[in-house]
Amino acid sequence: MKSKLKLFVWTDFNPDWTSGLAFAIAKDEKEARKMIIKLYSQGNHEPYNWGTLTIHPLTKKICDYVSGGG
């Protein structure tokens, strides 16, 4: 059975001194962004820089990482 959910990963999310990372498991990008906004700011405002989005189906194993800057 194919999953209707996907993993949405934003790298370079809201960079300050270093780049951030945000992720959500959702049906589509709109729902994923809404979830992040709610968690990020209790719905008062959106992140100022979403960064780069990669979408992964939840049908195979994956892994990735983001190293800290310095």
Helix, strand or coil, per DSSP, at residue 36: helix
Nearest to 36 by CA among 7, 64, 56, 61: 7
Q: Is 31 a domain residue?
A: yes
Q: How many domains does the chain have?
A: 1
Q: Is 25 a domain residue?
A: yes
**In this predicted model, what pLDDT tens digit does every residue of 11-65 receive, in sequence order?**
999 887 788 899 999 999 999 999 999 888 876 777 889 999 999 999 989 988 8
Q: Is 16 a domain residue?
A: yes
Predicted pLDDT at 26: 97
Q: Is 28 a domain residue?
A: yes
Q: Is 51 exposed, middle or buried (0-12, 13-18, 19+ CB in 10 A)?
A: middle
Q: Is 62 a domain residue?
A: no
Domain extent, residue 48, equals: 6-57
Q: Is 22 a domain residue?
A: yes
Q: Is 63 a domain residue?
A: no
